[in-house]
């Protein structure tokens, strides 16, 4: 799979389905704007599954600017080898389109909502 051709959403789904590895400590790239928060945006988007709208609201950005910062981080992380393809041998790359279209069976937000309703929090 050519990671450079994946957009933010497709890469997010691939990471969350363990088809692509994500660095345990997200790197900070010095020349990117808002370098103090760009790695946090990447973690919230790619690992935690937040939408760009939620992240933008939290950090006082527009949704478009948030997406641009995440895209810039993604491109640099892929080019520098921080994000790598770990798909198993024999994986059907055509299935990636189907994978990115389907929501995860159990999302972190779903678990939180379930726990809150189950335990009355």
Model confidence at 23: pLDDT above 50:
yes
Model confidence at 114: pLDDT above 50:
no
10-14, 46-50, 86-90, range with the lowest pLDDT: 86-90
State the average pLDDT over residues 26-49.
79
Whole-number mean pLDDT of the chain?
A: 76
Q: Confidence class of residue 115 from pLDDT cuts 50, 70 and 90?
A: very low
State the average pLDDT over residues 17-42.
76
Q: Confidence class of residue 59 from pLDDT cuts 50, 70 and 90?
A: very high
Instruction: Domain count for the chain, please give it.
Output: 1
Domain of 42?
3-119
The predicted pLDDT at position 54 comes to: 95
Q: What is the 3-state secondary structure (H, E, C) of the chain?
A: CCHHHCCHHHHHHHHHCCCEECCCCCCCCCCCCCHHHHHHHHHHHHHCCCCHHHHHHHHCCCHHHHHHHHHHHHHHHHHCCCCEECCCCCCCCCHHHHHHHCCCCCCHHHHHHHHHHHHCC
The predicted pLDDT at position 44 comes to: 93
pTM across the whole model: 0.68
Model confidence at 51: pLDDT above 80:
yes
């Amino acid at each position: 799979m050519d990671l450079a051709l994946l957009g933010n959403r497709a890469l997010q789904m691939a990471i969350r389905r363990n088809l692509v590895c994500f660095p345990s400590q997200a790197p900070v790239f010095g020349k990117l704007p808002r370098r103090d928060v760009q790695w946090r945006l990447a973690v919230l988007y790619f690992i935690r599954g937040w939408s760009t709208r939620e992240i933008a609201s939290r950090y006082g950005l527009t949704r478009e600017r948030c997406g641009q910062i995440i895209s810039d981080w993604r491109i640099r992380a892929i080019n520098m080898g921080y994000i790598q393809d770990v798909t198993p041998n024999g994986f059907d790359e055509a299935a990636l389109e189907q994978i990115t279209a389907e929501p995860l069976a159990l999302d972190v937000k779903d678990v939180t909502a379930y726990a809150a309703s189950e335990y009355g929090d």
